[in-house]
Amino acid sequence: MKKINVGILIFNEVEVLDFAGPFEVFSIAEGTDSEKLFNVFTIAEIRNNITARNGLQVVPTFTFNDDVVIDILVIPGGYGAETIEFKNEKLLNWIVEKDKKTIITSSVCTGAIILAEAKLLNHKEATTHWMDLDRLRKDYPLIKVVDQKFVESGKIMTSGGISAGINMSLYIIKKLFGNEISINTAKRMDYDI
């Protein structure tokens, strides 16, 4: 079986568990034959070390210049998302182009602000971190903002804060491969769902 490619965007001041939580979930998911279901990698605008929140150094696997297929795109949040990257035209254009070929485009926490700025949430239900729900409502009136762990609106999924990104990732596994594999993945992580 062909593995599904999960590309996780990273950038300076990205929230660590916003990208590392989904990375872990998809990385350990296995089918009933113990085969890995996903090929998971990070991707950044340039191939420099990324300094995540609180100083964690991360080296991206790929850059925007690499011709890589992304089936599931994960846009994490954090200070960098909500203050810098949401106005990065190169990043926004890259997301819009990748979204044309993804089976799922998703965000964790304030990654929703990036998707909103890219106009991918217009006329859809979406959520974000509880502290930023009002900002999403005020700044992006074409979005129907809801306060829940995660929201599925067509092929776009948005989630609340850190742990909600893990919940959303487990839901994606359930949607694609069934409840048993999702439960087994959560159990391996000792994560309650």
Domain boundaries, the chain: 4-188
Indicate whether 1 pLDDT > 80. no
CATH, range 4-188? 3.40.50.880
Question: Can you spell out the DSSP letters for 49-104?
Answer: -EE-GGG-EE--SEETTS----SEEEE--SHHHHHTGGG-HHHHHHHHHHHTT-SE
pLDDT for 33: 86
**What count of other Cβ atoms lies within 10 Å of the Cβ of residue 124?**
17
How does pLDDT run across 146-184, given as a tens digit for each residue?
999 999 999 999 999 989 999 999 999 999 999 999 999
> What's the whole-model pTM score?
0.96
- pLDDT confidence of residue 162: 87
- CA 31/CA 42 separation, integer angstroms: 22
Q: Give pLDDT, residue 84.
A: 94
